Structure formats: structure tokens, C-alpha cells
Structure 1
Amino acid sequence: MSWAGPFQYEIGKSPHKSAEPAEVVFDEQVPTLLCLSHLRWSFVYQRPQHLMSRFARDFNVLFCEEPVPTEDAQPWLEVRPEENGVQVLIPRLPAGCEGEAAEPVLRRLVDGYLAKLGVEDLLLWYYTPMSLAFTDHLEPKVVIYDCMDELSAFHGAPPQLIERERQLLRRADLVFTGGYSLYEAKRKHHDNAHPFPSSVDVDHFAAARRPQADPADQAEIPLPRLGFYGVIDERLDLPLIAKVAAQRPDWQIVLIGPVVKIDPALLPQRDNIHYLGGKTYDELPQYLAGWDVAIMPFALNESTRFISPTKTPEYLAGGRPVVSTPITDVVRTYGDTGIVRIADSPEAFVTACEAALADAEDRDSLLEKADEILGDMSWDHTWSLMKEKIQCAI
């Protein structure tokens, strides 16, 4: 099928996966799942991408991002096919079309595209309650709210977010949460809430267990290396990183990821702190393979109160010992494992990293413990359990 008018297409390669995208595919015989997300598909490959790629086996998945500006006088909808048949929808809005003024425009764009596709059998999946403003008129079979973070605690959160979430919780048939702390908070407001901590693609990250050449930008960094990958934002404890680097100048701290919502000038600068920028999901195991210890130096603040970091099982799948600050879901899930060490101060963090470096030397024991912890954890398993909940709600 093809369409003209405002529904334009940009067929391009995803910057976070190596596979070329397929042509736009729409199967009129299967239901359509419209996912409304505050995260961009091509930003960091994480929970939404893992789940939507799998749901595309059973649904036409439309992944609608937040709008971006266009120089065009009229709004239009960019449609980009991604792997496994997912269609990424990006509303392009002219200058000045924002806030409440954008809501009816977004509604027309989404409605128009659903009409062009001939969608009759619809499910709605929300990552951001803000999208309710232009989708609350739709009549889906099921409404799912996958609450992966407490978004209202993040820097720059819209003031309407809390009220919009209340509305979404009233409308949702199912609520999934990205961890147990979030589940405990949301189950008070919804009687069909279920915890689904972020999982792991074990085979993907297990590649880090094999000896391999370092990427060019990491190859010249001396050992030992303490590494982190993820978004570098207000959730990271920058003073902690600076103090650890100062106390142990012989250790190299490798930080991988885009810098978001904080001034890059505030990042600690030392000879043994290395910022390598964002990397693709496919590249992460190669970087992880070159680290001695994986670290999670999260700040303890409102933005990290409910997080359940996906990288914990990913680091373990890669065969690396982990040192983390005392994030609640990390402590309760991994704190007694022996290879995920918890530290609540710079001095304790240094001590824990020293112990983790010793753990890394006993590789056979480390890998055995990691595999025991991971068990049958997988995104396929999470996806399967979520599908069961959805079928029960239909």
C-alpha cells in the first residue's frame, strides 16, 4: 500500500541497528498496536525497542514519537520503517505549533494515518501520559500503560504530567512497570498492575565474554578500566565519578552515551576519565569486553528513586562484575549475589571496585554466578508474559 499527501516517508538505516530497514508493511488481517513514546526509536536501544520489535510478530506496530519542528508551512507525518516491521511515526510541526495548540494537529495527523491504513482493530500502548491529549478519543480494544520510569521526577518534566498520568491510570486496562519499586507505587492507583523489570538479550551481550579487539577509540586507554554505558544525565552522580577518579588515578573510567539535559561543561574532567560518546546497541558488547568492572554510579535523587537499570543484567550477561550505588531495585534484586557490589560513598565505591577487580580474576566463578543470577531471564520471556496479560484484558 502507498499513500500521498501529508504522509511522507523517509526510508533510512537505523543508527542503532546494523540491519537495513524493510519497506513499509501493513497486514490488514492482524490488529494494530499504536505505541506512544517520549523516547525516540533511534536514541538508545532499550525497553521500548526490545518489546515493540517482538510485538511486531503479532501486530502492526506503529511507534509514535514526540513531534519535531519542520521548516514547512504545513504539518506532516514522517513514517520510517524499522526492523521487524515496526513503523516509526514522527510528527513534523511548523514553528509555533506547540503545547496545547499542537494537540488538535497531532490528533489530525494520527487519525489521518490510521484512516489511511484502514485500522479497525486497535490497541494503545503508552510510555508517556502526555500523548493522551491527542489520543483520548480513540476507541481501542485495550489500553496499556508501560510505566518504565517516574517521568514526573525528571528534569524538565511538563507540569501537566502528573494529572495526565492520573487520567491514563483511570483509562488503562493494564499497567506494566519497569521495576518493583514502581509497581509498589502504581498498584495503589490501579488494580491490574504488574511488575516487569527490564530484561536482557543474553546472547547479544554474552559476546563480551569472548576475547576480541578493542574499538579504536578505546584501544589506547590503559587498564584497568571501569566502564559505564547509558544516557549521561541528571541521574549520574558526577561528583562521585570525579572523586573515584581522583582517589585512583591508575584506574581508567570509560563513560559511553549521549549527554542529555545537563551542561557538558559540568562533566568532571581528568586524564583518567574518558567520554566516548554514544554507541549503537550492536557496538556495546565490544566495548564491554574491554572493561574489567562495569559501574553504575547513579545519584540518589528523585529521578533515580524508582529506576530498575536494564544494564545490570546486560553487564552480567557480558561476564563483568558490577559496582552500583544503592539504587533500591538493584539492592533488592542483586545486592546479595556477591558479584553486584553496592557502595554508598566514594570511599566505599573505591573499595567495592577493588573487590570487583579481584572477582574478575576468578573468571570461571564469576561467569557461573552470573549465569545463575540471569537464569531464564530474556526479553522473549517478558514479551510472552505481557502477551498473556493483554489476551486476558481483551
Structure 2
Amino acid sequence: MSLEDQSVICFAPDPWDSMWRNRHQIMSRLSRKNKVLYVEPETYCIRDGIRQAVKSVRGGTRDERLISVNDRLWIYKHPWWGVNSHWPVLKQVGFRLRIWAIQRVIKRLDIKSPILWVVDPRFENMARHIKKSLLCYHVVDNYSAAPYYSDKIRSDLEKAERKLLLTADLVIVTAPFLMEEKSRYNNNVHLVKNAVDYEQFSALKHLKRKPDDMLNMPGPIIGYIGAVNEKLDYELLNTVVRRKPEWSFVFVGVYPKTPGSPASRFAEDHPPNVFLLGRRDVKDIPKYIQACSICILPYRRDEYTRAIDSLKLYEYFACEKPVVATDIPVIREHSDALYIAVDSQDFVQKIEVAMASQEPKKRLLQRSIAMQNTWDMRVEQLSSIIEAKLHGC
């Protein structure tokens, strides 16, 4: 069952043109048969909001923050006027301006009774002020344990999430741990895991040429594809990359510039066999995975990673690459298809075993897992859940 002829407004925590995550995959597919407005936050000072409101009243203006991707998908750079103000009055003015701004966009696109798809809990108050047919909260992280947020942001997220869980018509979670936690506050919680664009990632399985920025890297190449942030185990990584100076370790993904954080310290102080390439276009990611001898998932083991359903794991599997990972629940679930390491020494040993082994059974299992977990399948699953709720089934 495919969702058709609906309007969906997605409140996301990241830009459309950032590293693609589950919301990008889901919304791009929903937009094939539905009208989709993808709302991404962008910080502006409050005077910009007042200036735009005055211009609109005087004669109307086209909203430069609204971008058409195609005839069914729009990106709206939603201003966060006044969000960080210490003055309650300015916060309230900023909120009213934000409500005015998004309602103006909704009217312009002729969106009526939309499905609100909230990924970022900080949009909870915004969702309450928009007329809707359905409110769906998509839980993709354990925010209360997120290591890359400050204590204040974690606290704000937790409060907003609690309100959202109590008011949402549907709650979608990506991991069993989240299912258990969120079911305490909402009785309509559904587990829908991450997935992979199988055709895109499997098509280049036999590609031999490396991307240009990897041509001069000596092999073997040990690769991590994804955000280089605080969910990774930098104590383990620092030991592993120094223990094997003859190996190349490549990291493809954004990395933070926050001074003093473990991720930024790793980015600033690493041996010459480590290559931080930054973010690459989503269409090129399969090429980078294929260029790696071994793919790794060096996650920390804590309350945050306990709730992870690694999107990159499915992508590695679609490319049928040997995978070495630390021991967290989602990894344990697929233990027959990869190599699990318990510490830094074991991590090096498992990479060596993976490089020396020719295990067709592992590759066949990886292929099977990837083919059974595609984004098209996930969107069909989500469509069925939404349709059932809309029609009271």
C-alpha cells in the first residue's frame, strides 16, 4: 500500500542537502505520490523576521527561503527567530513570527489538513499551532543520552519530546530500545528500522576505480562512512590507527569543529595514515564504500548507541563489504554477517581476520539482509501504518 494524494510537512533537524539520513530517504519517496514540505531550521536574527513581515504587508514578497526541488517536494528554511534569546518577550515575538512565516508558506502551497511528521522535538510547539490530519513523531535517537548535545539542549529536547509523545497520533521508532522507552508514554508506537537504497549501493559492487581523493592512499584502506561525532569510540580509534601505521584509515562524513571535544581532538591530532575527507555527495557514497578494503563501525558502548539502528550498516551490507564493529545491540543482531570486536586489540585482530578471510556465506547473508531492508519497503510499511490511522482501522 502506498500513501497517495496527501500533504506531508516534515520538521527535520538537518538541511535537505546535508548527509542523507532516514528522513531524506522517506520524504523523497513519499513525494512521488504526495505533496511534501521539508522544513529545515535556519538561524536568523529577529529583526530579519520583522523586516520580512513589514515587506509582506506593504506589497508582498516571494519567500526566498522556499525552494522547489520538484513539483511535489519543497524545502523551507524555517527561521529560528528569537529561539536563543534570553528575553521572554523576544522569544514570544520570535515564535509568533515563525508561526506567521510557516502558515504563509502552507497557504502559498495550498496545503490543507497535512500529516505532520516531526523528527526534531524542538518543533513540538510549532506542531501544536498547525491544523493537521495526523501528528507523527519519528524517534531516531535517544536524545536524553546524546553525547554531542550540551546538558541544556538535552534537557530541552527531553521536555519537548515528552510533550510530543503524549500528543502524537503515531510514534515511529527505529530501534527496540526506543520502542520499549516510548511505549511508556504513547500506546501507538511502531518499530520501523532504517534501510538502504539497495539498487544504488549494490550497482557498483564490481567498481575498481577509486574516487580521485583516494587514489594515492596506500592499501589496505579501512573506511568509516558517516558523521564523525561523539558516538564514535575515540579511545579505541586512537589506539587502532597508531597500532597499524601501514594501513590507511579514511573517514567520509562531516566532523565537528567544537574545541576540546573528542571528535575535534581526533580531527586535529591524528597520525598521517588517517584521512578525514569530510562530507561527500549522497550519490557518490557507494563509490567510497567500494574503495574500502574493510568497513568499520567503531561505536561507543553507552545508553546513546544502545538506541542506534545504524543506517550505514545496511549500506555496507548492500555493497557486500567485510564489516568490523564494536559490540552494540544492532551489531549483535547481525553477528553472523560481520565481525564484532570487544576492545582495540580485538578490533585490529578482527580487521586482519576479515582481510584474510574469503567467506562467501557472509556476503550472501549481507546481500539477503540488504535486499530485505530497502527504503521502498520501509515507505510501504509506513504508508500502511499511516493509512490505518487516518481511516481508523
CA drift at 1:258: 0.8
Structure 2, unmatched stretches of 5+, are 53-62, 86-90
SS in 1 for 2:207: coil
Structure 2: distance between partners of 1:36 and 1:373: 30
- Name the CA distance, whole Å, in 2 between partners of 1:270 and 1:67: 36
The equivalent of 2:31 in structure 1 is 56
- Match of 1:315? 316
Does 258-267 or 101-110 show the bigger shift?
A: 258-267
Match of 1:344 in 2: 342
Partners of 2:83 and 2:345 in 1: how far apart? 50
CA positional deviation for 1:326? 1.2
Amino acid at match of 2:102: V
TM-score, with length taken from structure 1: 0.86
SS at match of 1:159: helix
Alignment partner for residue 217 of structure 1, among 213, 217, 221? Answer: 213
- 1:375 is displaced (CA, Å) by 4.1
* Closer, same or farther: CA 93–144 of 1 in aligned 2, 3 Å: closer
Distance in structure 2 (CA, Å) of the matches to 1:84 and 1:234: 38
Aligned length, in residue pairs: 360
Aligned counterparts of 2:70 and 2:304: Cα–Cα separation in 1: 31
In the alignment, the residues of structure 2 paired with residue 240 and residue 93 of structure 1 have an alpha-carbon distance, to the nearest angstrom, of 38
Residue 145 (structure 1) aligned with residue 137 (structure 2): yes
Aligned-pair distance for 1:266?
A: 3.9
Q: Is the 8 A contact 1:107 1:135 kept in 2?
A: no
1:334 counterpart residue number: 334
Aligned-residue Cα RMSD (Å) equals 2.1
**What does 1:68-79 align with in structure 2 at a 5 Å threshold?**
68-69=43-44, 72=48, 74-75=51-52, 78-79=65-66
Partner of 2:290: 289
In 1, Cα distance between equivalents of 2:229 and 2:257: 6
Aligned positions of 1:200-349 closer than 5 A = 200-260=196-256, 262-263=258-259, 264-267=264-267, 268-331=269-332, 333-335=333-335, 337=336, 339-349=337-347
Amino acid in structure 2 at the alignment position of 1:231 = A
Please give the alpha-carbon distance, in whole angstroms, between the structure 2 residues aligned to 1:334 and 1:292.
20
1:307-326 alpha-carbon deviations (Å, 9 max, x no partner): 11100010011110111111
- Separation in 1, partners of 2:28, 2:178: 24
Is 221-230 or 153-162 further displaced after alignment? 153-162
SS at structure 1 position matched to 2:203: helix
Range with greater deviation from structure 2 (186-195 or 81-90): 81-90
Shift in CA distance, 30/341, structure 1 to aligned 2, threshold 3 Å = same
Rounded to whole Å, the distance in 2 between the matches of 1:103 and 1:284 is 38
Distance 1:317 1:283 in 2: 15
Deviations 1:248-273 (A, max 9, x none): 22221111111126443443411211
Q: Which runs of 5+ in 1 are unaligned?
A: 1-28
Separation (CA, whole Å) in 1 of partners of 2:311 and 2:281: 16
In the TM superposition, residue 236 of structure 1 has moved relative to its aligned partner by 1.2
Report the AA paired with residue 334 of structure 1: H
**Which residue of structure 1 aligns with residue 356 of structure 2?**
358
- Could you report, residue by residue, the CA deviation over 1:13-40 in whole angstroms, capped at 9, with x for unpaired residues? xxxxxxxxxxxxxxxx933111111122
Aligned equivalents of 1:303 and 1:83: distance in 2? Answer: 36
Percent identity of equivalent pairs: 24
Secondary structure of 1:226's match? Answer: strand
Larger relative contact order (Cα-Cα within 8 Å, sequence gap ≥ 6): 2
* TM-score calculated relative to the size of structure 2: 0.86
Aligned position for 1:175 = 171
* Equivalent residue number for residue 113 of structure 2: 121
Change (3 A) 1:93 1:146: closer
Secondary structure of 2:122's aligned partner: helix
